[in-house]
Chains A and B, each alone.
Chain A
Amino acid sequence: MSTTEEKKLPNSGPRPEHELEDLKRVWATPKGIRLVTAVNNTVIGTLYIGVAFLFFVLAGVLALVMRMQLAVGDNTLVSQDLYNQLFTVHGTTMMFLFAVPAVEALGVMLLPQMLAARDLPFPRLSAFAIWAYVIGGLVFFSTIFYDLAPKGGWFMYPPNTLTEFSPGDNADFWLLGIGFIEISAIAGAIEIVVGVLRTRPPGMTLAKMPIFAWAMLIFAAMIIFAFPAVILATMLLEIERAFGWPFFSAELGGDSLLWQHLFWFFGHPEVYIIFLPAAGLVSMIVPTMAQTPLVGYRLIVVALIATGFFSFGLWVHHMFTTGIPGLSLAFFSAASMAVAIPSGIQVFSWIATIAAGRKRFRITVPSLFVLGFLFIFTLGGLTGVMVAIVPFDFQAHDSYFIVAHFHYVLIGGMVFPLFATFYYWAPMVSKKMLSERLGKWAFWLMFIGFNVTFFPMHITGLAGMPRRVWTYPSNLGWDVLNMISTAGAFVIAAGVLVFIIDLIRNFRFGEGGAENPWGAGTLEFLPNDVYSTRSIPHVTSREPLWDNPDLPREVEAGLHYLPNAPTGGRETIVTSAVEAKPQYVLQMPGAGWTPFLAAAFTAGGFLLLTIKEVGLGIASGTLAILLCLLWTWQLDKPSQGEVDIGGGYKLPTYMTGPNSHSWWAMVVLMLVASALYISYFFSYLYLWTVSPDVWAPNGSPAPPSLVFPVGSAAMFAGGSALMAWLGKRLPEPNVRTPGVPAGLVIAALLLGGGVALEILGHMQTGLDPTASSYGAMVYMAPILTGQAAFAAIVMCLFAGARHLRGGMDKQRRVTFDNAALLYYYTAAQGVFGLVLIHGFPRLIG
């Protein structure tokens, strides 16, 4: 920066001394047992990543047991039944309890710092999602110890997982346990979308966003569209198991392939959901180690977005051997080819960046893990192209070749970057760096062990060994290869063990670690404390720390935006989504018991239902909802007037409408709900194409008279009109009128009534949900709408109650606006469902 001209900074110094004390007090981390009430992103992020790593180790131990069993043919170390549980829990844990939570944890932990925000916009939601995951995950995993673990494979294909073939609670643990962890993942995704788009520092336009933020944005968007498909699938399967509604039973018009479509519509993007954030991390580490900006930033952004999209066009490539028409397979083979190109772009961008450094690429532990990732991931990508070629997949599918391929992609593509991350970003949350010496040991053991384990599996698979076999005859030529793989697995384990030793010796949680030890250019290496950065910098480039070496001192001296706590509570700046212009100061909640307790009771509710303790389960769930209400009651703080954040910005402290962060979160939630409903819509049409013979009017009762759907639609429309009318006539602050809650109650009744009328209509035609897949699908529509309606009704009543207590009026109206948004969405979805359920049979009849 020029020394001749005085720099124009947002604030002038020196700052009053109390500011720093205020910040420290406001953002202080609770101590002792109250630590579970903490919501600071570094605290809960570290807990999150720690628990995810614990699951990685636990699932890894299961893998070691499996490798011991497979070391030689005809082995009897592990029983058939236990082995089937082992691989199910290994896969499920690695995918749902390790991989997705781990990358989401990195988002929670790193994003606020990278964006120099004080915290994510919904800190308590993060805390809730994390605690729900911790409790639910631990209980789910523990089922392996008392023979209650699911044994249908992590993909849980029906009919094998229907009650007929899988009696007992084992499969239910998977369905409810995972369904609930998916919800926690979605909560995290909403947080990340709003966080990345709205809490960037002033000046950080889309084009200046760190690649990791791009990756997390796409990651979260993918979760929003992919996870609802598997949530619907788990709902359908659990309903079939519990109540016998035949969604997947062929003899009653269901189809087991419906599960496969829904599962893989989630399951394939899932692989990229795991990989993209890891690729984003690599794109952060490589430039630092090369000490040069990323070559092809724009290309990488394109690659991330393209991967995110194309990954939704790949799901059928898990179904190449199901016998569906060859041309259908060709469409998905084509998309699998297309998705390879973005990966190529990224690999060569990293190589170019390494080459671009003025000095040579620094070989540190993070760089080693990155290079190991490049090696392994490239190989996995190449075998990925091979299995995308349909005829080859006929051989490779469900053989050990696939086991080799996806471990190359997932361990190479996610675990190695994760370890690089551990070493690279440890100073953000630890007072001490991790050891370079131990790290190198860990790397080489893991890298060599990995290749020794998984490379031979390519050959094992094509030599004829299928997956998921607990034993094999020892005269088929697989013994030597399996023995090599087993030996390699223990070498990997040794590497992980060295890392754990390193953690124990060197990881000390707390602020005050080395400042920018690698010489990075991005904001997370600004001086940090509990409040994140002292002031929020004005950003003018992609590597602000390189382009302005004075920035850390300026920020620390409070010379940038918001160097204090003007409202006396926790707050951060909300900026516009594209240009990152400051819009308002967001008042955020601090530590509290409610997220933790709500999570505990939510987990309790799900798990009690799993073991068929329906009464206790419902009680626990109700308690969870009450706690959530208690928690939200404390939110939506009133405006504190305008505050000056520096740089000439006087910002409001309360925001309603389309600029409000909570409006955004609501919209994202509606996207989740609509993705769920679109999955349902697809399922309805899909089962019709499979079994037109059970669809009304061919084999089932004709739909009820049009009076019912018209009545329902009128109630939905009337309720929506009432909400809109109320929204325009909310009273001024401090004016309380019983008309508001009365109107909200009427609206709630209309919404619930519309759903109930629809169900009644079908019941009076004698349609039986257990008799055919048509009946099951018909009742499913109002059930899904009823779910959304339940939430909308609770929110309406909540808004009404708040009005009576003086917490909701014409100005402070976010609770009402959110209820109204969800109300309109639910009504629209309800009407869409009515058109489908009553229109389609008449159309084809």
Chain B
Amino acid sequence: MVGTFVFILAGPILWAIQLTAIYGSQSALCAAGIGTSSGGGNALVLWSVVIASLIPAGVATWAILAPAASYRLLAGERGDAAQWGFLRGVMRLLTGLSILAMAYAALGAVFLPECASLR
């Protein structure tokens, strides 16, 4: 039962993990001044954003491509076909939106210095 819900919510959960990881590491590193250059850049932050985005996005992509396998992993045996079609459809779309949200968040690091206040 819990597994079924985790399966549906896999994408958003991964998105939440990504946001926590990138925002947490960025604000902690910037606040502590670890690795920040004079212009407000910080390679450490950049790398943590890249890594913390690629891993959840990769897992999410796998879930979209292999829904049956991920369901088995999380919830065990599938119920009837109509129910499965609904669960799979919801999971895929949610995960797709979550990957988009992850990409949006990571995009900031492409355009902006990591620690500058930009005012």
Contacts and interface: CB of A to CB of B under 8 A. Distances in A.
Interface in A296-322: 298-299, 301-302, 305-306, 309-310, 312-313, 316
Interface residues of B, number: 45
A117 B119 CA distance: 57
A331 B105 contact: yes
Interface in A561-611: 576-579
A330 interface: yes
B100 interface: yes
Contact of B16 (A313, A341, A685): A313
B116 A325 contact: yes
Nearest to A302: B93
A206 B86 contact: yes
Q: Determine the main DSSP class of A at the interface with B.
A: helix
Given A323-B117, A324-B117, A331 B90 contact: no
A579 B28 contact: no
B86 to A, nearest CB: 4
A305 B101 CA distance: 14
Interface stretch (A183-191, A332-340, A356-364): A332-340
Given A298-B89, A327-B108, A338 B97 contact: yes
Given A207-B82, A298-B90, A310-B101, A330 B108 contact: yes
Given A310-B101, A325-B114, A327-B115, A334 B108 contact: yes
Interface in B78-118: 79, 82-83, 86-87, 89-90, 93-94, 97-98, 100-101, 104-105, 107-109, 111-118
Given A313-B19, A328-B23, A690-B31, A579 B115 contact: no
A311 to B, nearest CB: 11
A492 B5 CA distance: 43
Nearest to B100: A338
Nearest to B27: A328
A205 interface: yes
A326 interface: yes
A325 B105 contact: no
A475 interface: no
B33 to A, nearest CB: 11
Nearest to A321: B119
A315 to B, nearest CB: 10
Contacts of B28: 685, 689
B28 to A, nearest CB: 6
Which range contains the number of A residues in contact with the other chain?
A: 35 or more
A342 B97 CA distance: 9
A283 to B, nearest CB: 15
Contacts of A342: 97
B21 to A, nearest CB: 11
A53 to B, nearest CB: 34
A331 B23 contact: yes
Contact of B108 (A305, A333, A576): A333
B64 interface: no
B15 A313 contact: yes
Contacts of A337: 104
A236 B65 CA distance: 46
A836 to B, nearest CB: 16
B105 A305 contact: no
A330 B1 CA distance: 36
B12 interface: yes
A576 B4 CA distance: 12
Given A327-B108, A331-B23, A578 B1 contact: yes
Contact of A325 (B4, B26, B86, B104): B26
Nearest to A305: B94
B30 interface: yes
A225 B23 CA distance: 19
B63 interface: no
20 contacts: A205-B83, A206-B83, A206-B86, A207-B87, A298-B86, A301-B90, A302-B94, A313-B15, A313-B101, A325-B27, A325-B114, A325-B117, A327-B115, A328-B30, A334-B107, A338-B104, A342-B97, A689-B32, A690-B31, A692-B32
Interface of B: 1, 4, 8-9, 12, 15-16, 19, 22-23, 26-28, 30-32, 40, 45, 79, 82-83, 86-87, 89-90, 93-94, 97-98, 100-101, 104-105, 107-109, 111-119
Sorted nearest first, the 9 A-B pairs with minimum C-beta distance are: A330-B108, A326-B118, A334-B104, A309-B12, A338-B101, A207-B86, A334-B105, A689-B31, A302-B93
Given A310-B15, A331-B19, 11 more contacts: A309-B98, A310-B12, A312-B16, A324-B27, A327-B26, A327-B113, A328-B30, A334-B104, A334-B107, A578-B83, A689-B28
